[in-house]
Structure 1
């Protein structure tokens, strides 16, 4: 049984997950080609580079947004801006003090849950990839709806609906499919500690939507005062993991490290993935 084990000792985000799978042998060129089936490739550029985190060589995956039409009002952007300046695929609730950045985020924040479902359903992606992607998005949509007290149909994804999260979730589904993963297991999930600034004020970490998504998932205590797990990362691990445990009995075939952007003194900020044959 070909198993993927997620070692979330420094949390998990969508871009860390994709970085780790590429690092473990996932085909980045094929990933790029498959993502073109969403027909939004004029909205982004992908990059993946090797970085060293506290002595560990890892892959940093990024989605850079390019000229984009605002889905609410048709504004055009001519600038390019690297959307992921943290190790998160942006918590949808983060508030940004930088005005330029805040307005930029705003213009990417109007894809509704329904829009995303139509986008994925209407694509030429394989049925398995569609189903995996939609189940992850549904998990986030339901959590958002619950937190804000609205129905799934009324959920408008904020940053979570931005292009980078669509890429992270669909990209994750593509790589799992192409790596022929049959089973996914995970360690307990590290979420970090401290507080986070979100649209409605200052909240404890994990942010409300992240915590809602992680219901039923064992969390791991951490003294790191930072948000280590994002809604997208939480949804990936929550939807896909069949079991939460220490490393299972397996013959290891490949190991990958996906880097976050933040650096911590004595702690490599990476997601480790192990692919192997379970005994």
Structure 2
């Protein structure tokens, strides 16, 4: 399974969590249980609600606290080392703990760069508050449960303007978020405000390590929408997560091959036949075929096509110039699809025969080598020998 994040309105921790739960609502019960084991969330409750902004529908992830918020002091200063220790000592499963610490570590490194300090000395402000801890632990649990083979992201809306924080008024994106977004594709869609929070940026940086485009064919199977608290003019403030499954892979492999082509109209058949055999005998030639073609003035000619290893084009061209009368050769390096194959020996009437086994998308096929069938038998006997050899090779009977 591959998952793609389409950042329609931007991304924050709660938007990410809501989008995943809209995609796969069966994970909600397990998430709520996991959050009950999370540290530093005493008195905190979490729930999801359906959301319709008049454009799109999806979910919101709400983190609420009953009573006054005094858990981490008036300004929510929480040391990174304390959060890490609390997560490590919690009853959360190992994968959730690993992902949560991984996301927090990225945030700590970014904050350390912003303030010119060591990561161990970082004290979180907004990120250390109970709602951000809930968002990151929830994201970590969902990441662990989904166990996607690949996460990708679309372009990231940067936003603009200023945002009020515990550090004072900061530019958008916030300095820590900007550091976390380094190297990722961004866009200015003209809508101001904070579009990517530090928590959202850390989740993106943690997940999307492999670029934005999957090179393999994929089948889109589901999508979900997670909404944030802001209202954007003319646009849904949401993250869309799109789930893909890989298309069944072909059994064919691929490589590259050199193709050399030329025509002959002034060489005797006997001499050309010998020249082609000499070409075919070269260690870097994969195959040589010849065919009748019509040239200028309606003259019959012989077309020759040579398949060779790409790094041997010069050698093969020189050999073709020596072995034939051609004075011009076209060549190109092309891709090809090749099926797995092997030659096995099959015992038939006490005489071994070579059989080529080929693995095709619909199953394995077998073909006896014509030169081993024998040229003295009649057609019916030759056909019977071929069938027996091919059946023996398929069932694994070797000489």
Q: Distance in 1 between matches of 2:233 and 2:179?
A: 30
Partner of 1:12: 11
Q: Distance in 2 between matches of 1:204 and 1:110?
A: 21
- 2:260 pairs with 1:275: no
SS of 2:163 mapped into structure 1 = strand
- 2:225 pairs with 1:257: yes
Partner of 1:121: 88
Partner of 1:83: none
Matching of residues 205-220 of structure 1 within 5 Å: 205-220=172-187
Deviations 1:13-65 (A, max 9, x none): 00000000010014111100011122445331112111112420010111112
Q: Distance in 2 between matches of 1:185 and 1:135?
A: 18
| CA separation of 1:263 and 1:195: change in aligned 2, threshold 3 A | same
Contact 2:72 2:129 in 1 (8 A): no
What is the deviation of 1:246?
A: 5.3
Larger gyration radius, structure 1 or structure 2: 2
Matching of residues 33-182 of structure 1 within 5 Å: 33-67=33-67, 68-71=69-72, 103=74, 106=75, 109-182=76-149
Q: Which runs of 5+ in 2 are unaligned?
A: 248-399
**Aligned-pair Cα RMSD in Å:** 1.9
Contact 2:158 2:187 in 1 (8 A): yes
Deviations 1:100-119 (A, max 9, x none): xxx5xx2xx13210111011
SS of 2:160 mapped into structure 1 = coil
Higher mean C-alpha deviation, range 226-235 or range 150-159:
150-159
Contact 1:187 1:244 in 2 (8 A): no
| CA separation of 1:49 and 1:161: change in aligned 2, threshold 3 A | same
Higher mean C-alpha deviation, range 178-187 or range 192-201:
192-201
| CA separation of 1:39 and 1:235: change in aligned 2, threshold 3 A | closer
- 2:33 pairs with 1:30: no
Deviations 1:62-84 (A, max 9, x none): 11123455345xxxxxxxxxxxx
Q: Distance in 1 between matches of 2:71 and 2:203?
A: 27
Contact 1:35 1:170 in 2 (8 A): yes
Deviations 1:192-228 (A, max 9, x none): 1223234455433111111011122221222111111
Aligned pairs, number? 244
Matching of residues 178-257 of structure 1 within 5 Å: 178-245=145-212, 249-257=217-225
Q: Distance in 2 between matches of 1:34 and 1:165?
A: 15
- Greater share of strand residues, 1 or 2? 2
Partner of 2:371: none
Higher mean C-alpha deviation, range 190-199 or range 13-22:
190-199
| CA separation of 1:272 and 1:247: change in aligned 2, threshold 3 A | farther
Q: Distance in 1 between matches of 2:53 and 2:213?
A: 23
